[in-house]
């Protein structure tokens, strides 16, 4: 038996704040990165690593490792949420999910620093502009996801949605950078 419509509880202001405050903060992160990248005069200083041929190669390989860990994140989250048929998540899945996420994020930092300082926000081609905007989206969405993790009683769809946006942005970043580098770069 269901409660009459007038007796059902509606979302409270605090429920909305649990969603809106992290989204506002994440949006501020994304916009701040975009504004900084567009106003900052690119330095051209490149991130290099011993044994890697060029700064673009460093970025492509770090981004690829981050994207691979992102795919692992998707698989472990799907297992933890019971979304994989006939798969029971082993007890270590949560720990593996957390650590792979931390490592993926840390691998993305040198790439982002290089993009922000050496290149800035660029619009020389649709691919480059899209990549710049996706970078801002990724870090904004990541901020939202991390803030959602601290909220008790958050609606059930919020964290998986934020995680999905982070994964989609990371995948699109990889497609507009690393895949381009490995297949079409001069």
Q: CB neighbours of 16 closer than 8 A, spacing ≥ 6?
A: none
User: What is the mean predicted confidence (pLDDT) over 4-14?
Assistant: 55
Write the pLDDT tens digit of every residue in 75-107: 999 999 888 888 888 999 999 999 999 999 999
Write the pLDDT tens digit of every residue in 101-144: 999 999 999 899 888 888 888 888 999 999 999 999 999 999 99
**8 Å CB contact between 171 and 73:** no
**8 Å CB contact between 58 and 144:** no
Res 20 pLDDT > 70: yes
State pTM to two decimals: 0.85
- Residue-range domain boundaries for the chain: 23-37+52-183
Closest of 132, 133, 158 to residue 17, by C-alpha: 158
Write the pLDDT tens digit of every residue in 149-161: 988 888 889 999 9
């Amino acid at each position: 038996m269901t409660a009459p419509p007038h007796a059902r509880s509606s979302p409270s202001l605090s429920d909305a704040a649990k969603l809106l405050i992290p989204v506002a903060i994440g949006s501020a992160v994304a916009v701040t990165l975009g504004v900084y990248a567009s106003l900052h005069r690119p330095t051209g200083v490149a991130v290099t690593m011993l044994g890697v041929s060029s700064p673009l190669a460093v970025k492509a390989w770090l981004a690829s490792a981050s994207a691979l860990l992102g795919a692992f994140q998707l698989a472990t989250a799907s297992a933890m949420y019971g979304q994989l048929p006939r798969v029971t998540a082993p007890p270590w899945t949560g720990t593996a999910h957390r650590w792979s996420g931390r490592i993926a994020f840390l691998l993305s930092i040198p790439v982002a620093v290089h993009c922000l300082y050496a290149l800035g926000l660029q619009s020389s081609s649709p691919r480059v502009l899209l990549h710049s905007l996706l970078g801002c989206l990724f870090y904004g969405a990541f901020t939202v996801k991390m803030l959602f993790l601290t909220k008790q009683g958050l609606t059930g769809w919020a964290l998986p949605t934020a995680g999905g946006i982070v994964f989609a942005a990371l995948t699109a970043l990889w497609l507009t950078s690393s895949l381009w580098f490995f297949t079409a770069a001069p």
